[in-house]
C-alpha cells in the first residue's frame, strides 16, 4: 500500500509536526551537530538513553516534564515505520489528554538501523 495517503500517514505527519513544536527545530537541519541533523532519529537516540527531555526547546523556561515525556512518547508511537503500529488519532488525543496511558513503544524503527 505504498504511495497511498491514509489516516495513518496523517498520524505520522502529526507526530513530526508535534516533534518540531516541542523541540523548536525543523525535522531536518544541517546547521546542527551530526547526530542531531535528523530530528526523529535524534529523538529515538535520546529515548533509548532515557534523555528525551533534552528534546524540549531550550527557550521554554518552564514546562511540565511529565507532560513533555507524554508528548514525546506519543510522537514516537505516531512515527513508527509500520503504519499498523501507529495509533488512531482518537487514541492519540486520549493519550495526550491523559485519558489513557501512553502505549509502550516497542522498538526504534528499522529505517534508523
- Considering the entire predicted model, what is its pTM? 0.84
Which residues fall within 8 angstroms of residue 90, CB to CB, at 6 or more apart? none
Owner of C-alpha cell 515505520? 81
String of DSSP letters for 20-88: HHHHTS-SB-TTS-GGGSBHHHHHHHHHHTT-GGGGS-TT-----HHHHHHHHHHHHHHT-SSGGGSPP
- Residue 94's contacts (CB-CB under 8 Å, 6 or more residues apart) are 100
pLDDT in tens, 71-110: 999 999 999 988 899 999 999 999 999 999 998 876 776 6
Domains along the chain with CATH numbers: 7-107 (1.10.510.10)
Q: Residues 15-67: pLDDT tens digits?
A: 999 999 999 988 776 666 666 668 898 899 899 899 999 999 999 889 999 99
Distance separating alpha carbons of residues 108 and 74, to the nearest angstrom = 14
Q: pLDDT by residue (tens digit) across 8-19?
A: 889 999 999 999
Amino acid at each position: 500500500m505504498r504511495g497511498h495517503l491514509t489516516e495513518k500517514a496523517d498520524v505520522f505527519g502529526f507526530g513530526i509536526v508535534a516533534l518540531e513544536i516541542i523541540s523548536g527545530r525543523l525535522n531536518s537541519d544541517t546547521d546542527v551537530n551530526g547526530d542531531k541533523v535528523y530530528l526523529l532519529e535524534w529523538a529515538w537516540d535520546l529515548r533509548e538513553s532515557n534523555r528525551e527531555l533534552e528534546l524540549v526547546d531550550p527557550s521554554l523556561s518552564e514546562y511540565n516534564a511529565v507532560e513533555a515525556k507524554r508528548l514525546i512518547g506519543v510522537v514516537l508511537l505516531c512515527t513508527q515505520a509500520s503504519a499498523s503500529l501507529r495509533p488512531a488519532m482518537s487514541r492519540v488525543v486520549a493519550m495526550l489528554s491523559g485519558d489513557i496511558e501512553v502505549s509502550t513503544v516497542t522498538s526504534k524503527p528499522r529505517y534508523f538501523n
